[in-house]
Amino acid sequence: MCRVPELFGSMVFNDTVMKERLTKDTYVTLKKTVQDGKALDLTVANAVAAAMKDWAVEKGVTHFTHWFQPMTGITAEKHDSFITPVDGGKVMMEFSGKELIKGEPDASSFPSGGLRATFEARGYTAWDPTSFAFIKDNVLCIPSVFCSYTGEVLDKKTPLLRSMEVMNTQALRILKLFGDMDSTRVITTVGPEQEYFLVDKALFEKRKDLKFTGRTLFGAKPPKGQELEDHYFGSIKPRVAAFMEDLDKELWKLGILAKTEHNEVAPAQHELAPIFTDTNLASDHNQLTMDTMKKVALQHGLICLLHEKPFAGVNGSGKHNNWSISTNTGKNLLDPGHTPHQNAQFLLFLSAVIKAVDEYQDLLRVSIASAANDHRLGANEAPPAIVSIFLGDELTAIMDAIDSGNLYKHRERTDMTVGVDVLPSFPKDTTDRNRTSPFAFTGNKFEFRMLGSSQSISGPNIILNTIVAEELRQFADILETAPNFTEAMDALVKKTIRDHKRIIFNGNGYEEAWVVEAEKRGLLNLKSTPEALQTFIAEKNLALFNRHRIFSSEETHSRYEITMETYTKTLNIEALTMIDMVKKEILPAANTYIKELSKTAIAVRTLIPDMACESQLNMISELSALTDSVYARTNALESVLDSAKDCKDAADCAFYFRENVFPAMVSLREAADEIEILAGEKYWPYPTYGTLLFSV
């Protein structure tokens, strides 16, 4: 194996490669254009494109693609080769600046949520030079944004970049007030911890539910699940270890800082965490990580399941979005620091986050809403659907002291006037022991834990960046005109804590008591995706997005439609898959077994006429009753699906599926799982949970 430092980033057209391969002038102009966010000059683009092409061709690459992130939540690419015809029936390899900067895929087959009906179908992709080009599967990939011809945003990257800009602008205003003139750029940073399952490919192939929907729609609980807690951090089995080794290599080649790998709570469940980086790159890298996981798994005869809830009864998979704010001078703005000055700045940013999370609980909930994630939230394995903040006892006590004007009582009694007093240093390791909180302060960053494993991290980070930037804007508006900065800041922090402390909760989020308490506090509990989504288009949220030019009202509405539709489509596919499995496989299997039992009973009676054959007869009647019940429930599911055609619009449909189709699916599954428990193993058409979960 090649040494890791040489391997790392070898497939990325990164800064080092650019310095090597571009003339100094081109390099400097490119950097400056990126920094100023200006459009790239065509001669510079031509030079960069030529260098990129030469670099890629030397590595055996023949094609390029604009790599973008449409509203499907995954990535999209359309490959074009470098060939250009020349005299004598020959070709040469060419790649122009124009091709680098702009691509023109047909936008009509990507979700647009109504934007397409009113505007032109054509779309274009444009190079995002803040993320590096890379080679994947022998194709040069150019990270790109995706818009309609009339400028409407059709992707997840553009609003993320916009939200980072907004954060930069507002955070710099605050830093100036603190006299920080050195920092010229503020970015948000993210390290997403990615959970996933690995199952044997041959077993996966035998289950239509896994193939079509990514999760098991049937399946009785195995005799052993996660109750012994012997998988978490357990020793990694050889086949999984071999997968992880190859995965690391592939990710390192792409410049992805894959760092930590371990077994997770459920059998067959694992986690990968990278070292954090800026949010745009982290988002690109997480998409690439998910993509690479699936590919490398296949090379090992495995399937990587990224679904939020592949198996009922054992933990599902999430993604922890570790998020912080940092300056280009390397300062983490969510680090408490040591002096009154640093502490004050920290408390102001912390207050902004607290106010943001309280005022926009709905948006944070919406940002992680999906049919799949609904199975996890509030199911005592993932945070509840209620958004709250964990600060830890000591930081909470400090906030209380600020609020009440009392002394902070810890090792020494301390006054807490913001901007004047020093925060008592609190040990960092006491800050991260509550794993039930959806949004936890972990010493120098926040960990947003509600994300589903398969989701793009762009959505949640667009919201986080925008809502915190909005609060910083309000703070800056007040403080910039205040006659006495320190007094104004102390008052502002006090008021913010007083007004928004209801969002702080350090207790056990899995307990029923919290649901009751949260309701008393007036916190939202948006249990399902359709319910959550309705808040997305609330007046205050449209105003927020408009003010910061993240989404126009039309764009917000289009995203609302797309997410509602995706919810309905997901449930529809699941329901149809269930019906298919029941009719084609489950009922025939049950009947074959019933027939076997009947034949046995008849044979025994023929031999020994007064034999009771109690076991066979009981099983026959139990199984027959269950098959009748499965049959009836399948009909019921078909009939509710049939009535879905009367739904009026996207929201109406989503609610209909939630309230009618979903319960019919749950009820059908219950009856079918009973049959699985009774049926002989060789009659059951699918690998069981026991087989799947302990397959690798």
Contact residues for Mg ion, defined by CB under 5 A: 320
We find the least distance from the C-beta atom of residue 553 to Mg ion, in angstroms, to be 36
The answer to whether the beta carbons of residues 353 and 496 sit under 8 Å apart is no
Picking from 157, 439, 429, the residue whose alpha carbon sits closest to that of residue 320 is 439
Contacts of residue 663, defined as CB under 8 A and 6 or more positions apart, other chains included, come to none
- Kindly tell me which of 262 and 605 has the beta carbon lying closer to ligand ADP: 262
Could you tell me which residues are beta bridge partners of residue 70? 155
The answer to whether the beta carbons of residues 458 and 159 sit under 8 Å apart is yes
Angle at CA of residue 601, ends 596 and 604, nearest 5°: 120
3-state SS of 152-197 is CECECHHHHHHHHHHHHHHHHHHHHHCCCCCCCCEEEEEEEEEEEE
Cα gap 696→693, rounded to integer Å? 8
- Kindly tell me which of 116 and 320 has the beta carbon lying closer to Mg ion: 320
Cα gap 246→292, rounded to integer Å? 10
Picking from 613, 596, 615, the residue whose alpha carbon sits closest to that of residue 604 is 613
We find the least distance from the C-beta atom of residue 426 to ligand ADP, in angstroms, to be 16
- Kindly tell me which of 110 and 448 has the beta carbon lying closer to Mg ion: 448
We find the least distance from the C-beta atom of residue 193 to ligand ADP, in angstroms, to be 6
User: What stretch of H or E contains 559?
Assistant: helix 553-581
- Kindly tell me which of 289 and 528 has the beta carbon lying closer to ligand ADP: 289
* Residue 270 contacts which entry, Mg ion, ligand ADP, none (Cβ below 5-8 A, type-dependent): none
Distance from the Cα of residue 201 to its chain's centroid = 24
The answer to whether the beta carbons of residues 180 and 186 sit under 8 Å apart is no
Q: What is the dihedral of CA 436, 219, 527, 574, to 10 degrees?
A: 140
- Kindly tell me which of 275 and 666 has the beta carbon lying closer to ligand ADP: 275
Task: Spell 433-454 as b/e; 16+ CB within 10 A means b.
Answer: ebebbbbbbbbbbbbbbbbbbb
* Residue 142 contacts which entry, ligand ADP, Mg ion, none (Cβ below 5-8 A, type-dependent): none
CB closest to ligand ADP, residue no: 191
* Residue 551 contacts which entry, Mg ion, ligand ADP, none (Cβ below 5-8 A, type-dependent): none
Contacts of residue 394, defined as CB under 8 A and 6 or more positions apart, other chains included, come to 410, 424, 426, 430, 431
Q: Is the Cα torsion angle 544, 547, 548, 551 positive or negative in sign?
A: positive
CB closest to Mg ion, residue no: 320
Contacts of residue 279, defined as CB under 8 A and 6 or more positions apart, other chains included, come to 160, 164, 187, 188, 189, 190, 323, 461, 465
We find the least distance from the C-beta atom of residue 273 to ligand ADP, in angstroms, to be 4
We find the least distance from the C-beta atom of residue 565 to ligand ADP, in angstroms, to be 33
- Kindly tell me which of 96 and 434 has the beta carbon lying closer to ligand ADP: 434
- Kindly tell me which of 440 and 668 has the beta carbon lying closer to ligand ADP: 440
- Kindly tell me which of 273 and 675 has the beta carbon lying closer to ligand ADP: 273
* Residue 407 contacts which entry, Mg ion, ligand ADP, none (Cβ below 5-8 A, type-dependent): none
- Kindly tell me which of 388 and 660 has the beta carbon lying closer to ligand ADP: 388
As to burial, measured by CB atoms within 10 angstroms (0-12 exposed, 13-18 middle, 19+ buried), residue 481 is: exposed
User: What stretch of H or E contains 677?
Assistant: helix 662-678
Question: Which residues are at the interface with ligand ADP (CB under 6 A)?
Answer: 189-191, 193, 273-276, 322-324, 332, 432, 442, 444-445
Q: What is the dihedral of CA 49, 55, 59, 65, to 10 degrees?
A: -20
* Residue 332 contacts which entry, ligand ADP, Mg ion, none (Cβ below 5-8 A, type-dependent): ligand ADP
We find the least distance from the C-beta atom of residue 500 to Mg ion, in angstroms, to be 24
- Kindly tell me which of 233 and 694 has the beta carbon lying closer to ligand ADP: 233
* Residue 273 contacts which entry, Mg ion, ligand ADP, none (Cβ below 5-8 A, type-dependent): ligand ADP
We find the least distance from the C-beta atom of residue 516 to ligand ADP, in angstroms, to be 29
* Residue 274 contacts which entry, Mg ion, ligand ADP, none (Cβ below 5-8 A, type-dependent): ligand ADP
Could you tell me which residues are beta bridge partners of residue 86? 90
The owner of tokens 């139990």 is 622
- Kindly tell me which of 77 and 271 has the beta carbon lying closer to ligand ADP: 271
